[in-house]
Structure 1
Amino acid sequence: MSLLSIREVRKSFGSNVVLDRFSLEVEAGECVVLIGASGSGKSTLLRCVNLLETVDDGVIELDGYDITDPRVDADGVRSGIGIVFQAYNLFPHLTVLDNVTLAPIRVHGVPRDVARTRGLEMLDRVGLAAKATARPDELSGGQQQRAAIARALVNSPKLMLLDEVTSALDPELVGEVLDLLRELKTDGMTMLLCTHEMAFARDVADQVCFLDNGRLLESGPPSQVLENPTEPRTQEFLRRIRL
Structure 2
Amino acid sequence: MTPVLACDSVRKVFHGNVVLDDVSLTVDEGEAVVLIGASGSGKSTLLRCVNLLETVDDGTIHLDGRDITDPRVNADEVRRNIGVVFQSYNLFPHLTVLDNITLALRRVHKRRRRDAEQHARRVLDQVGLADRAGAYPDRLSGGQQQRVAIARALASYPRLLLLDEVTSALDPELVGEVLALVHELKGMGITMVIATHEMGFAREVADRVCFLDAGRILESGPPAELFDAPREERTRRFLARVSARG
The unaligned stretches of length 5 or more in structure 1 are: none
Q: Find the counterpart in structure 2 of residue 54 from structure 1.
A: 55
Map residues 153-232 of structure 1 onto 2, 5 A cutoff.
153-232=154-233
SS at match of 1:46: helix
d(CA) in 2 for partners of 1:66, 1:112: 33
- Tell me how far 1:3 sits from its aligned partner: 1.1
- In 2, Cα distance between the equivalents of 1:18 and 1:110? 39
Query: Displacement, 1:109?
Result: 2.1
Residue 86 of structure 1 aligns with an amino acid whose one-letter code is Q
Whole-angstrom CA distance in 2 between matches of 1:231 and 1:79: 38
Question: Residue 170 of structure 2 aligns to a residue in which SS?
Answer: coil
The 1-side partners of 2:26 and 2:37 are apart by 18
**Whole-Å Cα distance in 2 between the matches of residues 149 and 2 of structure 1?**
23
Q: Which runs of 5+ in 2 are unaligned?
A: none
The alpha-carbon deviation at position 197 of structure 1 amounts to: 1.0
CA RMSD after TM alignment:
0.8
Report what 2:151 is aligned to: 150
Identity %: 67
Give, in angstroms, the shift of residue 227 of structure 1. Answer: 1.1
Aligned residue runs from structure 1 range 7-18, under 5 A = 7-18=8-19
How far did 1:108 drift? 2.6
Query: Secondary structure at 2:228's aligned position in 1?
Result: coil
Deviation per residue, 1:119-175 (Å, 9 max, x gap): 111111101110001000100111000000000001001110000001111111111
CA displacement, residues 3-43 of structure 1 (integer Å, 9 cap, x when unaligned): 11000001111101110011001111111000000000000
Residue identity matched to 1:103: A
**What SS is found at the alignment partner of 1:219?**
strand
Deviations 1:38-74 (A, max 9, x none): 0000000000001111111111001111111111121
Equivalent position SS for 2:111:
coil
Q: Stretches of 4+ moved more than 6 A in 1?
A: none
Aligned residues: 243
